[in-house]
A and B are shown apart, each in its own frame.
Chain A
Amino acid sequence: MAQRAVWLISHEPGTPLGGTVRFSRRYPTVEKRAKVFNGTSYVPIPEDGPFLKSLLFELRLLDEDRDFTESRDSCSRINKTSVYGLKVGGEELWPVVAFLKNGIVYACVPLVEQTLSPRPALISISAVSQGFELLFGIQDFLYSSQRIDTELNTKLSQLPDLLLQACPFGTLLDANLQNSLDSISFASVTHPQKQPAWKAGTYKGKPQVSISITEKVKSMQYDKQDIADTWQVVGTVTCKCDLEGIMPNVTISLSLPTNGSPLQDILVHPCVTSLDSAILTSSSLDAMDDSAFSGPYKFPFTPPLESFNLCYYTSQVPVPPILGFYQMKEEEVQLKITVNLKLHESVKNNFEFCEAHIPFYNRGPITHVEYKVSFGQLEVFREKSLLIWIIGQKFPKSMEISLSGTVTFGAKSHEKQPFDHICIGGTAYLKLHFRILDYTLTGCYADQHSVQVFASGKPKISTHRKLISSDYYIWNSKAPAPVTYGSLLL
């Protein structure tokens, strides 16, 4: 269940090495066990330099992909998980858990407590999921707040001490590094009662509970006879409970209005102590029917100190909030475009912002635009080959707006203009970006009165809601578009 070593590597494209090891930690007692368990198939952990080189090559993060290289490009080298075998000094180090996120490669080598030849299935290695948890935990710690470089450096410099706390011998004690950081400062508190390991101390102060529901809506719209449009809502319920006592109990209920869309695919935080089977089985994998469980969704839990995601859910609302079409045709030297967007009447017509981005890939810079909008303004980014239609805070009374025009492009120069491997020929999309505050598409809300808190003092309860768009695409209906399997099931 232990890790033999862990690394953080910043990916620096264009530099001679392609990256720098920002942090590494080895666990020699685990290495000692690896030697015994792996026997003749044991491969030692390399030093940072060779590891960096081999990992970046394997992840295709080196810039040298001009020529076909068999050890990287061969069709039979297929990786279907974030677990790799690295060629190091003529031997293969496996399993190496690694992924790239925000310019940093997170990597570790889980201990396999048996021989490596033949290779055991990943599912049978307990340290693999522990390795993922460690890396996710580090990632959360590094990016939990602002993404300023100096802060990242500060956090990186805290890592050695934090891992000494959270993973002293390679066996992970807590993936929540913030909690480990807190536990250093809470160390002097005495504990008359059993204290959860995931809660470093106790809160002292005014009791308050804050609940915020954020829904993201994504969509793929085609405006075609044989392809169905798809859309989906993904919700996240975040809580921060400032309550006194070691183990205060809280129950939060999420409710839906009568015509609300049932919540499905609910995943809860591990602090939730019990779960109704109706919540557990409500799933988007099944065909929808009227008997679907529609709440209230009760979540009893003992909160940790920090802000946490109480649960995630998805939902299938009956209609997309904005339905539209996009038609783009190549006419001689210019493109003719027509866009139409319609806000559904049930949706709150009060946006924080609403924009439609219309990018043109694999073409030269925009040289000329002629257009007509029924509403809002159009901004032209010539060099980026991008149009942004700023719709603003409200749709007009008709709820329907349109844009039409022609766009002319200059000569293509590869370095400057955006390349895209989906938008080939007529394949093109526009992407909607919007945000509506104090609103959810499912109608889901947390009623202040339904929040039960078993702790001293009556807490102040605040709730927040918002809807934001995410991957909201409307594809050019005059050309082929990438489809998902679900879109074919008309």
Chain B
Amino acid sequence: MSLTMGLLSREAWAQRLGAFRASPSAYMAAPEGEDLGRDLLSDLRSEKLSEQTKVSMLALSLEYPAQLWPDAPAAEAAATSLLDTLALLPPRPSALRRPLLLAATTALVTGGVLGPTSGASLRLLPLLLGLASGGDLGRRFGPSSDQRPLQATACECLRELESCKPGLLGGCLGLLRGLLGQEGPVAPVQPLSLLLALALRNTLVIQARARASLQGLLTVRAPPPGGGPWNWTLAQEGEAHLQPQAPSWPAAEEECGLSALEPSPEEARELRAAVAQLLDTSYLLTPVAQAQLLWLLGWALRGLRGQPPVLFKPQLVRLLGTAQLALLHAVLALKAAFGEALFTAQDEALLLRRLTLAAQHPALPLPAHLFYLHCLLSFPENCPLGPAGEEAAPLLLEPQLCRGLLPNLLHDPMALLARLHLLCLLCAEDEQKEEKGQAQSPCHYLQELLAGLQQRAALTGGPRALATLCFQASYLVALCLAGHHTVLAPLTHGLAQLYRARPALAPHFVDLLDRVAPELGEPLRVVLRQEVVSRPGGGEALRWHLQMLAKVADRDAQSATLGFLQAAAAHCTDWGLQQALLRVCRALLRAGVGGGLADLLQALARQLEDPDGRDHARLYYVLLSHLSGPKLGVALGPSLAAPALTSSLVAENQGFATALMVQEAPAPIRLSVGRQRAEGPVPVLQLQVEVLEPVYSLELRFRVEGQLYAPLGAVHVPCLCPGRPARPLLLPLQPRRPAPAQLDIRALYTKSTGLTCYTHLPPLPVKFADLFLPFPKLPEGARLGFFEELWDSCLPKGTESRLCCPLGPQGLEALVSRHLEPFVVVARPPTSYHIAIRLPPDSKLLLRLEAAQADGVPVVLRADDWAVLPHVGDYLRGLSAAV
């Protein structure tokens, strides 16, 4: 296939390129995409194709190299092939040389292969530099008529390479300076100037970062490294930091840190000479290139010691006189870079006036006006007062100067909004000064303007853009002039009138209410509600009124609202209107409107034609009568899961599901067993509870596996808050057998959002010792007898056992007092203790502890139930471990 493809005709290529451009991704995904890159390279050498076709093929490779040669090896191979093609061109004028150089450069950069290990790079760089210097290489390379354009193109290629790999040309600064200063038949000034300025700037930044000096880089005029190796040192140092060609101001200043560079007096002189050389010939550059040069040099010298920015001064007057967007922008960049060092207060005022002028000059196009207006409000002042980064009117911009910049109704929407912003800033200032109240005060003018916008938006059948503009203006005013009652009050009034005139704008009103702060939002809500409810509830606009009311209805003016809805209900004949009506009811439910609403809902449940609507009204009624306020709010709140849909039902299904069903959730609750109490008729577990968030109506349910204990009652806690110590919860146990157990625990609770949750907590152990109860206390004299009686009663039915309880360093006394104190009947410290323990439901455990010996405490125990023996053994062993 590729064989035939390799001989594509001109038409076939045109078709192929067209198909590719229509959708590059689709083309490359198809089978024919596979060979495109290869075919393109081989057909560039075909003698059957015209130069024009080949140029269009190269143009494609300039735009889509990553699609044609997607990886580094392919890019390297492509660049090599392009360079070979270039070398094979016959020595006559050809339109292919320029695009071939551009294409090879593009392939190397986008393939990410530019570097000392790339063969193509090592071929391309000396070639470009040789061409740029206009030496013999160029003459060998092509006919003389191609020389000059090739020289310029080589410079552009080098500039692009330097942009993408800063420092690449650091070693050529001296050479470039020499070329630029050449007398006689000269190299093209513009490409060389831009190349030198960029390389100079990058070198300064890299050397400053490395805290190195300029090392005579400015003066070494090494011959073009045609044979010698390329110097990659600076490029490798600069590699980690791609240099912005024209970094934005002032935030990046610290980052730049050129002050670290301390050029020697000689270096400083050379640097100044280089910059002066560039600036002196800058008038030979096109305006856009002059602007680029100024951005680069401004950045190169900023913060550099011993380089006063006065070098720029001679250029400024010339630049200030032009209307060229790029030039004025570059002057602003210099202003931002050098501030007072280059612009005195008078200069600043002049610049500001020129900018103000340019922002309204009838000879300039609208996009330029708007950009200048932006620059005016972001003007880099010598002494800024306001917070950085916020648009504000500069101090020197007196209201007098702004007269021509104020908006009127004849302006294009964007111009109107931009100028409106300025007007708002003036109004804010104006009000701070004196309350003038005159007809020409900015605030008064603003009101007239807003009234005009409202009037236009009110036009029935007018384009939506006009309405949008009116609401954008209202939003902007509310944003800039929040708290300025004198402006907001008439605005509110005007908007209410607009609604009266054109209720179809309800979606815009809802949007505005969603976005403005309460300063405008609250009063507007009130007047809009009045506007709606004071009408008879019918007519074409009913659906807009209902949409509006769903947004603005709340507890205030309930009776009027309900009255309107009652009247409206009769007109809600179709499904959509009924849904809209129900949405208002829902809003009222959420707002906590009670009594009258219940009547309305009952009426709707009977009256609505649509069964869906009736069901819904009934559901709302049920909810209203059964759920508490907060819970209702949550149940009807906007569901996060469901996007707003036309049917209130769908949205609600989600809301109800979350609110009315119990949610399974990870528990914000931690339970632990506290110290055992050992008193009373039954063992009682003390539970310590902690919560991570407020929890209401907590119900804890317990279950013991294997029916060891009688079923346990639930424990209820009304409210728990994190960080607030809770009283321990008491859980009485009724063992059926004296044995330890696991408590399985489930919790049901309500969160502060009103959602009811259910959770399974980690099981809690009931230890054997938790079941211990003491025998009643007897008088001192009767105790020994009582114990002996118990001791004897254990046998023969029960069991006796002897074991040795290993003892820790604290001795027998400590062991007893810590663990067994409540159960001691007879004590002869430190040698002997008689201990009697009641084990519910009806067992007992008796211990005789003797004086400790080398291997532990001899323990004799008797129990009336042999089944407890293993538990006792575990318990005693645990004791020694615990001590």
Contact = CB atoms under 8 A, between A and B. Distances in A.
Interface in A61-106: 65-68, 70, 72-83, 97, 99, 101
Interface residues of B, number: 135
Contact of B248 (A48, A73, A113): A113
Interface in A86-142: 97, 99, 101, 112-114, 120-130, 132-134, 136
Interface string B456-480: 1001011111111001101110000
Interface of B: 21-25, 55-56, 59, 62-66, 98-99, 102, 105-106, 109-110, 112, 145-146, 148-149, 153, 156-157, 159-160, 163-164, 184-186, 188-191, 242, 244-249, 252, 281, 283-292, 295, 317-318, 320-330, 332-333, 336, 350, 353-354, 356-358, 361-368, 370-371, 373-375, 378, 380, 389, 400-401, 403-404, 406, 408-410, 414, 417-418, 421, 439-440, 445, 448, 452, 455-456, 459, 461-468, 471-472, 474-476, 507-508, 511-512, 515
A288 interface: no
A281 interface: yes
A120 B252 CA distance: 11
Give the 6 A-B CB pairs with smallest separation, nearest first.
Answer: A113-B244, A124-B248, A267-B323, A126-B246, A312-B363, A197-B190
Contacts of B291: 126, 129-130
B357 A74 contact: no
Interface stretch (A25-33, A202-210, A347-355, A371-379): A25-33
Given A27-B63, A32-B109, A285-B401, 16 more contacts: A73-B467, A75-B474, A121-B389, A129-B291, A164-B62, A169-B160, A172-B289, A173-B286, A174-B289, A196-B283, A267-B323, A309-B363, A421-B462, A485-B445, A488-B439, A489-B403
Given A126-B295, A136-B365, A272-B318, A482 B190 contact: no
A112 B25 CA distance: 25
A37 B287 contact: no
Contact of A424 (B281, B408, B459): B459
Contacts of A130: 288, 291-292, 326
Contact of B164 (A26, A29, A198, A266): A29
Interface stretch (A186-194, A385-393, A400-408, A432-440): A186-194
Interface of A: 1-2, 24-29, 31-33, 36-37, 47-49, 60, 65-68, 70, 72-83, 97, 99, 101, 112-114, 120-130, 132-134, 136, 160-161, 164, 168-169, 171-176, 179, 187-188, 190-198, 216, 218, 226, 232, 234, 236, 265-270, 272-275, 277, 279-281, 283-285, 309, 312, 314, 414, 419, 421-422, 424, 482-486, 488-489
Identify which of A32, A134, A273, A486 gathers the most chain B CB atoms within 10 Å of its CB: A32
A74 B795 CA distance: 90
Nearest to A82: B367
B102 A270 contact: no
Contacts of B186: 191, 193-194
A36 B242 CA distance: 7
Nearest to A175: B288
A28 B323 contact: no
Contacts of B188: 195, 197
Contacts of B295: 1, 126
A77 B439 CA distance: 31
Q: Label chain B's interface by main secondary structure.
A: helix
Identify which of A196, A216, A489 gathers the most chain B CB atoms within 10 Å of its CB: A196
Nearest to B398: A285
B284 A114 contact: no
A70 B283 contact: no
5 contacts: A32-B109, A129-B371, A133-B324, A197-B284, A285-B357
A26 B286 contact: no
Contacts of B406: 484-485
Contacts of A191: 148, 185-186
Contact of B456 (A31, A83, A169, A421): A421
A27 B364 CA distance: 29
Contacts of A36: 242
A234 B417 CA distance: 25
A277 B284 contact: no
A483 B288 CA distance: 38
B471 A75 contact: yes
Contacts of B507: 67-68, 73
B321 A75 contact: no
Nearest to A179: B286
B471 to A, nearest CB: 4
A277 B472 CA distance: 42
B284 A195 contact: yes
A73 B467 CA distance: 9
Contacts of A24: 21
A252 B439 CA distance: 45
Given A74-B511, A126-B295, A129-B326, A267 B290 contact: no
Contact of A280 (B252, B321, B409, B463): B321
Nearest to B247: A113
B356 A82 contact: no
Contacts of A101: 365
Given A270-B290, A272-B321, A114 B465 contact: no
Nearest to A161: B55
Contacts of B148: 187, 190-191
Contacts of B325: 129, 132-133, 136
Given A33-B242, A123-B375, A133-B326, A164 B284 contact: no
B481 to A, nearest CB: 15
B464 A65 contact: yes
A97 B368 CA distance: 11
Given A28-B66, A126-B246, A312-B323, A60 B400 contact: no
B344 to A, nearest CB: 14
Given A176-B286, A275-B317, A285-B357, A188 B145 contact: yes
A445 to B, nearest CB: 19
B284 A194 contact: yes
A484 B102 contact: no
Nearest to B317: A275
Contacts of B102: 164, 168-169
Contacts of B511: 68, 70, 73-75
A277 B316 CA distance: 12
Contact of A78 (B24, B286, B323, B472): B472
Contacts of A74: 511, 515
Nearest to A198: B286
Nearest to B56: A160
B246 A113 contact: yes
A132 B361 contact: no
B149 A187 contact: yes
Contacts of A113: 244-248
Contacts of B159: 169, 171
B120 to A, nearest CB: 15
B284 A424 contact: no
Contact of B417 (A78, A128, A172, A267): A78
A270 B327 contact: yes
A175 B286 contact: yes
Nearest to A190: B185
Contacts of A226: 439
Nearest to B160: A169
A37 B475 contact: no
Contacts of A198: 285-287
Identify which of A164, A191, A269 gathers the most chain B CB atoms within 10 Å of its CB: A164
Contacts of B370: 80-82
Nearest to A124: B248
B363 A267 contact: yes
B246 A1 contact: yes
A194 B321 CA distance: 25
A25 B64 CA distance: 10
A488 B317 contact: no
A187 B95 CA distance: 12
A272 B327 CA distance: 13
A274 B281 CA distance: 15
Contact of B333 (A72, A126, A277, A488): A126
